[in-house]
Each structure stands twice: as C-alpha cells, then as structure tokens.
C-alpha cells in the first residue's frame, strides 16, 4: 500500500472521528461511530454519525446519504461495524448490500455481542483494512472500550481551581472561582452525561442544584451524592430543583440504623442507595475505593449510566483518583487576581493528582478569563 493511500485513509478516519465526537451525549451507551463513504471515483458521497439509542448507526446514516453511489466505493468507519440484531439490524448487512468494495476500520469492536463484523465483511469479498494507529479514533472510542472492559461508567472529573490549584476561596472572597463562560461549558456537559457525582461535603458547603441551565440538553443527568452517614439535608436545593433523580449513596449500616432519615429522604423525592463494601464490618465513615467502584458499577448495571461527571470537592476527588476511577478531567483555572484559598493541608492538590495520572491533553483553550483543559487517560 502506498503512503498516499495510507495518509488518505488516516485523513478520512480523522474526518469520521470529528463527526462522531459531535454525537457525545446522544449515542451513549452505544459508541458514537463516525463513517465517511466515497464513490468508486473517490468523491465523498456520504457521511454520518450514530444517533440516539435505537436510531441509525453512523454507517447507516452515511449509506443512506450515499445511496447507489456507494456501490464499488470505500467506507471509512471509526469502529468495526456491528454484526448483530440489537435495536437496529446489523450494519455489516447494509454495507454488503450497498456493494462497498473496500472498508477501512479505525478500531476493533470489544463488545462480544456486536463483534465479528470484519470476518463477515471479508467473507462477503470486501477488502477490509484495519488502521488502529489514528489518535483521533483512539481518543474517540477509549471511553466505550473502557466501559466494556471495566463494567463501570466513564468518569470525567470536573473542577474549577484558583491559579495555584485551590478549589475553594478564603472567607470574604467571592466563592465563584470560574467565570460565566466556563460555567456555560459545565452546564453543556451536564446536559450530555448520565450522572453527576458529588460528595456530601460539597452539598453542605454549597447546596448545589447540579442541573443543566440555559443549554440544549441531550439527556437529564441523575444527581448522585456520596453520603456515607446519611447527612443529606431534606431541604437541599437538589430536591426542589427540577432535574434528574437524586440518589443518596450511603453505607448499609447507616441506612439500617437510621430508618427515619431514609424515610425522610425518600419522602422528599430522593432514592437512598446503600452500597456494600468489603470493609462493612470493620470501618466507619467514608467510602473506600472498592465501595466507590461498586457504586459506579451499580449505576451502570441498574440505571444504564454510561458517563459520569464529578463535581465534588478535593476530598472525594482524592479518593476517586486514588482508586483509579477517574478517566478524564476538565479543569478550569482562573487567572491570578487575588488571595488564594489554598491551605497547606490541601495537598496533594487535584492538579497534582491529575499530573500523576499521566493523562494526555485532548483540548485546551480559553473560556473568558479562564484557561480550560480537557485531558483523558491514554489507554
Ligand atoms: N472548585 C470546585 O470545582 C469545587 C467543586 C465542588 C466543591 N468544591 C468545594 O470543595 C469543598 C468541599 O470539599 P469536600 O472535600 O468536603 O467535598 P466532597 O469531596 O464533595 O465531599 C467530601 C465528603 O464526602 C464524604 N466521603 C465519603 N467517602 C469519601 C471518600 N472516599 N473520600 C472523600 N470523601 C468521602 C466525606 O464524608 P466524611 O467526612 O463524613 O467521611 C466528606 O465529607 C467546598 O468548599 C466546596 O465549595 C469546589
């Protein structure tokens, strides 16, 4: 294969990945797959990305756009086309029927239920090429592959920090660290994830609503609070603000020994979720790493949660990083304008934990006066 063809394949897979990235918040729990189709003369005649669950996959959207021009053409798809009847028929059947001559695949399907597409396409005489070295595709699908291999959601840690890494301001200084434009980006992300996770420390300090305001919402996130001892106040703003279900995750012993608190919270509209841990008999207080992991797996299994945005303080963040439960981070850093809220006891700072995690930066830019950086695990 000539380097020209290789470079062209790479460019087309990047184009498909860019397209698919726009499907974040729409396609999950399915992977957001991007597909570009060229006719036999090399002209792009169709492109598409996966729509909401139950809707068309990227390949189907692109094939519909291409129509008969797909015959004898090339398709570039970010993920191996599915080979099973789920809510939609197999994409491999549609590609074969459309007469695609060559297919370039950017990533191999890891979900056993849907795999086997490449073998079927080759049996049908289609020339299939696998190109798993395109960074944009690797970054696009890492969340999906990770969810399949761990059984838990993809977790994005979000925080706003002062120029020197504090997550709170000192008394007498405005508690708002990031600006209006950063906040807007946060609200947009809230409207694209399945759950927002915070700790009881943040609820008590800030009484946040954790809803998505003034943005177009693709989904309504559940609001999950790690509250080992059931301290969640029944007059918390979350319970009176329209939005996703409020789930209070506690220790089983706290729920058993305090049925009144459970009853009050349920009467106020929350769901109390006792989460078992390996240390149930021996430890009191905070959730250990294994219990946090179990909480995340429960959310995936019982509530279909594929993506989580954390909006907690340094306490819970430290435990999540410590248990390797953070997959990506979106951090807003304010300019140096005044006194810092950083206390020596606040170390390691979340930014130190992030640096130690060795994530790669996938995007950075400015939101008003703030610097914003999106990073994620490499593999
Ligand atoms: N800048 C930002 O982006 C941002 C975002 C959110 C909050 N904040 C600020 O952060 C501060 C609150 O910090 P925080 O650390 O107390 O809040 P947090 O991390 O949201 O919650 C910590 C609480 O969760 C409980 N918890 C249960 N399991 C835990 C675990 N494994 N690890 C850690 N905590 C666990 C702890 O309860 P026990 O102590 O009872 O064990 C602790 O009180 C506030 O000043 C708030 O304004 C800043």
Residues 311 and 353 in one domain: yes
Residues 181 and 261 in one domain: yes
Residues 121 and 38 in one domain: yes
Is the minimum distance from the CB of 374 to ligand 1 under 6 angstroms? Answer: no
- Per-residue model confidence as pLDDT tens digits over 150-168: 999 999 999 999 999 999 8
Pick the residue with more confidence: 61 or 282? 61
Q: What is the pLDDT of residue 284?
A: 64
- Per-residue model confidence as pLDDT tens digits over 242-296: 999 999 999 999 999 999 999 999 999 999 999 998 866 555 678 999 999 999 9
Q: What is the pLDDT of residue 8?
A: 98
Residues 70 and 168 in one domain: no
Domain boundary, last residue among 121, 144, 167: 144
pLDDT confidence bin for 53, thresholds 50/70/90: very high
Domain boundary, last residue among 144, 161, 185: 144
Residues 137 and 249 in one domain: no
Residues 320 and 188 in one domain: yes
Q: How far is the CA of 310 from the centre of ligand 1 (A)?
A: 11
Whether the model clears a pTM of 0.85, i.e. scores above it, the answer is yes
Q: What is the pLDDT of residue 341?
A: 64
Q: What is the pLDDT of residue 175?
A: 85
User: How many domains are there within the chain?
Assistant: 2
Q: Do 144 and 316 contact (CB within 8 A), yes or no?
A: no
Residue 131 belongs to domain spanning: 3-144
Residues 128 and 160 in one domain: no
Q: What is the mean pLDDT of residues 39-45?
A: 98
Residues 27 and 10 in one domain: yes
Q: How far is the CA of 228 from the centre of ligand 1 (A)?
A: 12
Is 161 part of the annotated catalytic residue set? no
Is the minimum distance from the CB of 25 to ligand 1 under 6 angstroms? Answer: no
Q: How far is the CA of 226 from the centre of ligand 1 (A)?
A: 9
Is the minimum distance from the CB of 170 to ligand 1 under 6 angstroms? Answer: no
Q: What is the mean pLDDT of residues 177-194?
A: 97
β-pair partners for 270? 246
Q: Do 120 and 93 contact (CB within 8 A), yes or no?
A: no
Q: How far apart are CA 306 and CA 296, in angstroms?
A: 10
Q: What is the mean pLDDT of residues 167-186?
A: 90
Q: What is the mean pLDDT of residues 91-107?
A: 98
Pocket probe for ligand 1: among 159, 208, 254, 313, the residue whose CB has the most ligand atoms within 8 Å is 313
Domain boundary, last residue among 144, 163, 192: 144
Per-position b or e across 204-225, b if 16+ CB within 10 A of its CB: eeeebbbbbeeeebbbbbbbbb
DSSP 321-342: HHTT---EEEEEE--S-S----
161 CA closest ligand 1 atom index: 1
Q: What is the pLDDT of residue 205?
A: 94
Residues 131 and 169 in one domain: no
**CATH value at residue 252:** 3.40.430.10
Is the minimum distance from the CB of 287 to ligand 1 under 6 angstroms? Answer: yes
Q: What is the pLDDT of residue 172?
A: 80
pLDDT confidence bin for 86, thresholds 50/70/90: confident
Whose C-alpha lies nearest to ligand 1, atom 26?
A: 286
Pocket probe for ligand 1: among 316, 331, 353, 373, the residue whose CB has the most ligand atoms within 8 Å is 316
pLDDT confidence bin for 355, thresholds 50/70/90: very high
Q: Give me the catalytic one of 14, 47, 59, 189.
A: 59
Q: What is the pLDDT of residue 283?
A: 57
Q: What is the pLDDT of residue 280?
A: 61
**CATH value at residue 24:** 3.40.140.10
Q: How far is the CA of 209 from the centre of ligand 1 (A)?
A: 16
Residues 266 and 249 in one domain: yes
Residues 65 and 214 in one domain: no
Is the minimum distance from the CB of 119 to ligand 1 under 6 angstroms? Answer: no
Q: What is the mean pLDDT of residues 113-122?
A: 93
pLDDT confidence bin for 88, thresholds 50/70/90: confident
Q: Per mean pLDDT, which range of 28-37, 66-75, 189-198, 282-291 is the poorest?
A: 282-291
Per-position b or e across 108-127, b if 16+ CB within 10 A of its CB: ebbbeebebbbebbeeeebe
Q: How far apart are CA 227 and CA 236, in angstroms?
A: 13
Whose C-alpha lies nearest to ligand 1, atom 13?
A: 313
Residues 21 and 128 in one domain: yes
């Amino acid at each position: 294969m000539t380097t020209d063809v290789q470079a062209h394949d790479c460019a087309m897979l990047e184009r498909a990945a860019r397209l698919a990235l726009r499907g974040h918040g729409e396609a999950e729990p399915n992977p957001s797959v991007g597909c570009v189709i060229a006719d036999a003369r090399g002209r792009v005649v169709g492109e598409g990305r996966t729509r909401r669950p139950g809707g068309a996959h990227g390949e189907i959207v692109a094939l519909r756009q291409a129509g008969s021009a797909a015959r004898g053409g090339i398709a570039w798809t970010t993920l191996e086309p599915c080979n099973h009847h789920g809510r939609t028929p197999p994409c491999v059947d549609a590609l074969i029927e459309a007469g695609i001559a060559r297919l370039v695949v950017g990533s191999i399907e890891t979900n056993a239920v849907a795999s086997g597409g490449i073998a079927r396409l080759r049996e049908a005489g289609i020339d299939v090429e696998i190109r798993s070295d395109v960074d944009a595709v690797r970054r696009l699908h890492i969340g999906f592959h990770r969810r399949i291999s761990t059984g838990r959601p993809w977790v994005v840690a979000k925080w706003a920090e002062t120029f020197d890494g504090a997550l709170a301001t000192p008394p007498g200084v405005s508690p708002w660290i990031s600006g209006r434009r950063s906040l807007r980006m946060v609200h947009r992300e809230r409207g694209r994830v399945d759950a927002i996770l915070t700790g009881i420390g943040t609820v008590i300090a800030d009484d946040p609503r954790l809803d998505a305001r003034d943005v177009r919402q693709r989904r309504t996130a559940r609001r999950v609070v790690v509250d080992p001892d059931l301290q969640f106040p029944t007059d918390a703003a979350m319970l009176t603000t329209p939005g996703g279900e409020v789930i209070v995750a506690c220790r089983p012993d706290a729920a058993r020994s305090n049925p009144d608190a459970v009853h009050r919270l349920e009467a106020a509209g929350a769901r109390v979720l006792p989460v078992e841990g390996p240390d149930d008999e021996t430890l009191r207080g905070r959730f250990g790493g294994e219990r946090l992991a179990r909480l995340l797996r429960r959310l995936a299994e019982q509530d279909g949660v594929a993506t989580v945005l954390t909006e907690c303080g340094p306490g819970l963040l430290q435990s999540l990083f410590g248990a390797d439960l953070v997959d990506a981070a979106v951090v807003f850093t304010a300019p140096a304008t005044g006194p810092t809220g950083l206390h020596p006891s606040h170390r390691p700072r979340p930014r130190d934990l992030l640096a130690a995690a060795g994530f790669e930066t996938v995007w950075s830019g400015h939101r008003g006066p703030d610097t914003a950086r999106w990073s994620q695990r490499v593999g």
